[in-house]
């Protein structure tokens, strides 16, 4: 699929999500599952906050910093960045592009699994959560700009804050608000807030 166009890759991804979703229904049922941590909320400025939220923030910052270091300070990371801009040139140097892409895919799966494990104690895991997260992740990547770790980090904060406030103001349209921001950014800067404009 690496040689296919992006829309075809996205269609395959969504098809696999639907297939695995139905398999989960058959094997484990449709009941949500959750892990409860014995952590008492602490009072901060007359409000009670779960200390585990700070663990999630620290984990997110750590993953973002580690990913930036990997892409900018390691040989493999530099090859990955070069392959994004010019697969033909990297292939001409004798580097196998499918192997590079497979490694990046494995890294992405690992980060996703780690994120799910960190996220599990505060959000019930069940069917439908995958689609909600994919929509938000897609918005974060597009708003921040493809290939920009800093852009993804900033966009995730923006989307998270807007989504949280939208739930209180308009619970049924929180995702719609995110898409409105996404459309506005695409009209203003099609390459994202921190992305690089590509000229052909």
- The answer on 82 and 120 residing in a single domain is yes
Are residues 185 and 200 in contact, defined by beta-carbon separation less than 8 angstroms? no
Asked whether residue 121 falls in the same domain as residue 43, the answer is yes
Q: Are 102 and 78 in contact (CB under 8 A)?
A: no
Structure tokens at 57: 């923030």
One domain for residues 60 and 112: yes
For the stretch 166-199, pLDDT in tens is 888 888 888 888 889 989 988 988 888 887 765 5
- The distance from CA 98 to its chain's CA centroid, rounded to whole angstroms, is 22
Of the residues 65, 100, 125, the one at which a domain ends: 125
Q: Which of 132, 117, 128 minimizes the C-alpha distance to 18?
A: 128
How do residues 124-162 score in pLDDT, each as one tens digit? Answer: 777 777 777 777 888 898 898 877 888 888 999 999 899
Domain boundary among 71, 103, 125: 125
Residue 14 lies in a domain: no
Q: Where are the alpha helices (DSSP H) in the chain?
A: 6-28, 52-73, 75-85, 87-92, 97-119, 129-144, 149-169, 174-188
| Cα distance between residue 87 and residue 141, in whole Å | 21
First to last CA, the chain: 24
Q: Indicate the residue among 90, 125, 160 that finishes a domain.
A: 125
- pLDDT averaged over every residue in the chain: 84
Domain count, the chain: 2
Is 179 strand, coil or helix? helix
At residue 48, the 3 state secondary structure works out as: strand
Domain holding 115, by residue range, is 38-125
Least confident among 29-38, 87-96, 98-107, 136-145: 29-38
Contact yes or no for 151/144 (Cβ under 8 A): yes
């Amino acid at each position: 699929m690496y040689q296919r166009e992006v829309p075809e890759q996205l269609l395959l991804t969504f098809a696999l999500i639907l297939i695995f979703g139905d398999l989960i229904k058959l094997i484990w049922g449709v009941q949500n599952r959750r892990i409860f941590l014995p952590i008492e909320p602490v009072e901060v400025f007359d409000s009670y906050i779960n200390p585990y939220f700070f663990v999630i923030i620290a984990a997110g910052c750590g993953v973002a910093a580690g990913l930036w270091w990997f892409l900018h300070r390691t040989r493999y990371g530099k090859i990955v960045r070069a392959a994004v801009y010019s697969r033909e040139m990297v292939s001409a140097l004798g580097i196998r592009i499918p192997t590079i892409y497979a490694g990046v895919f494995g890294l992405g799966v690992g980060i996703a699994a780690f994120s799910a494990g960190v996220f599990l104690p505060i959000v019930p895991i069940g069917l439908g959560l995958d689609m909600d997260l994919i929509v938000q992740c897609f918005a974060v990547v597009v708003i921040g700009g493809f290939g920009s770790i800093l852009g993804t980090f900033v966009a995730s904060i923006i989307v998270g804050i807007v989504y949280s406030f939208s739930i209180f103001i308009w619970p049924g349209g929180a995702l719609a608000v995110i898409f409105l921001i996404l459309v506005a950014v695409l009209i203003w800067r099609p390459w994202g807030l921190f992305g690089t404009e590509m000229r052909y």
